[in-house]
Amino acid sequence: MLPAREFSTLRLADVLTSSLDAILSRPNPLGLPAVSKAVVVLADGLGVSSIRARAGHARFLAARLNKTSIIDGVFPATTVAGIATLTTGVEPGQHGLVGYQVLDADRDRVINQLTGWDAGMNPATWQRARTVFDIAAEHAVPSFAIGPKRFTNSGFTGAVLRGATYVPAESIADRFRAARALLNDEPTALIYLYVSELDVAAHAHGWESARWLTQLETLDSELAKFASGLRRDEGLLLTADHGVLDVPATKHVLFDTVPELVAGVRHVAGDPRCVQLYLEPDQSLVTADSLAEAWRRVEGERAWIFTRAEAVAAGIFGRVAPEVLPRIGDVIVAARRVVAYYDSRDSNKGARSMIGQHGSLTDEELRVPLIRAGAFER
């Protein structure tokens, strides 16, 4: 039931690691030349399909978008999994952030890995992999993460940006100015620059909205200005964690209203376009296989439905560590049509106001840019 697709040869996991390799004058998967300083921009929610559809409003990005500048993100196509893969260089099955919401089996609860960090979730151990910034420090390469002030001390920041000095900067323009100042001050540096505005606008208004388009134009303009000032020993890469689809409220599927789709289910997690279902542990009437089959009968035309075992065997989470395995749902429902799956029993009704959605295996959600500039341009 999984889609028959070939993932791109170049991976999101290679982007930041290759940038550090370039600073260290080492061969790397992206074939980047040696530099003294590298900047990696992560534009949250900026899919290839959106750039192509709005090419006239993003001339810098669109002019550099071709077959060699398109890569696949990770599954699930969600921020926690994508950014963690970028900053650790390993797949979700290794770093452990395998969904927006996942099961914390030891505490029998669903946790939000983006905003729900608490005393029971230690960022230093829940995210299992070393970061590229930690590795950079071992080689005496200073590393910096530039982003909005509100993320400075968040649990997610501690999990995926550890080893980097966090530099708060509020606007997109401010972040590029901060990056330029660091390039001016540091003889060598690895810089990660995070742009959240596109994803925020897409969730609230849709990627086809005027609000989203304004943010795209701002990013493209600031990026072009920044790239024009790069020196010979400074390289720039821009990528994204995922793309976005607009899903109208008329396409919401309240799956709990069909009893067989929630029979035997203890916890519901994931994203509206990538639902992860966890079974009651002390029962044998409903199995992962039988629940998956029930979903296929009802939703097989609109979603890819597979068990944890099938997902692991297919490698869509990459190599999965034994410690990470229980975090993955017993059954996973990945939307392939323009729909979003909601549990109407959930007390958080605000999530159903989102327009822009992501998480699944469609090209719109998975295919992201890899734009090169400065010393990395080719």
Q: Are residues 273 and 337 in the same domain?
A: yes
- Rounded Cα distance between 254 and 232, Å, is 55
Let me know if residue 206 belongs to a domain: yes
The single-letter DSSP state of residue 11 is: B
Domain tally, the chain:
2
User: Does 5 reside within a domain?
Assistant: no
Whether 37 has a pLDDT exceeding 90, the answer reads yes
- Per-residue pLDDT, 88: 98
| Same domain, residue pair 261 and 241 | no
Domain identity same for 272 and 331:
yes
Q: Confirm whether 215 is domain-assigned.
A: yes
Asked if the model's pLDDT at residue 350 lies above 90, the reply is: no
Q: Are residues 329 and 208 in the same domain?
A: no
What CATH number does the domain containing 182 carry? 3.40.720.10
Residue-level pLDDT at 18: 98
The pLDDT > 70 percentage for the chain reads 98
Which has the closest alpha carbon to 134: 104, 164, 169, 90? Answer: 164
Could you tell me the pLDDT band of residue 8, with boundaries at 50, 70 and 90? confident
Note the pLDDT tens digit of each residue in 80-134.
999 999 999 999 999 999 999 999 999 999 999 999 999 889 999 999 999 999 9
pTM value > 0.75: yes
Report which of 225, 227, 219 is spatially closest to residue 375, judged by C-alpha positions: 227
Residues 157, 222, single domain; the answer is yes
Say if 140 falls within a structural domain. yes
Same domain, 304 and 365: no
pLDDT of amino acid 10: 87
Q: How many CB atoms lie within 10 A of CB 349?
A: 9
Task: Using the predicted structure, report yes or no on whether residue 30 has a pLDDT greater than 80.
Answer: yes
Residue 322 exposed, middle or buried by CB count within 10 Å (0-12, 13-18, 19+): exposed
Token pair recorded at residue 368: 């992201």
For residue 293, give the nearest of 333, 244, 351 by alpha carbon.
333
Q: Are residues 141 and 27 in the same domain?
A: yes
Asked if residue 4 is part of any domain, the answer here is no
The span from the first CA to the last CA of the chain, in angstroms, equals 39
pLDDT band at 348 (very low <50, low <70, confident <90, very high): confident
- Are 283 and 322 found together in one domain? yes
Cα separation of 35 and 21, whole Å? Answer: 9
30 within a domain of the structure (yes/no):
yes
Query: Residue 122: which of 147, 155, 92 has the closest Cα?
Result: 155
**Per-residue pLDDT at 5:** 63
Question: Are the C-beta atoms of residues 236 and 226 closer than 8 Å to each other?
Answer: yes
Cis bond leading into 76, ω under 30°?
A: yes
Are 62 and 204 contained in the same domain?
A: yes
Give the pLDDT confidence score for residue 351 in this predicted structure.
80
Claim to verify: residue 238 and residue 322 sit in the same structural domain: no
The model's pLDDT over 257-314, given as tens digits with 9 standing for 90+, comes to 999 999 999 999 999 999 999 999 988 899 999 999 999 999 999 999 999 999 999 9
The predicted structure's pLDDT at residue 202: 98
Is residue 179 domain-shared with residue 318, that is, in the same domain?
Answer: no
For 16-21, what is the mean pLDDT? Answer: 98
Same domain, 319 and 230: no
Measure Cα distances from 270 to 16, 77, 130, 141, 282 in Å. 26, 11, 24, 36, 22
Q: Quick check: is 193 in a domain?
A: yes
> Which CATH number covers residue 263?
3.30.1360.180
pLDDT at residue number 107: 94
* Mean pLDDT computed over 47-74: 96
For 290-304, the DSSP string reads: HHHHHHHHHHTTTEE
- What is the residue range of 177's domain? 13-98+117-245+361-374
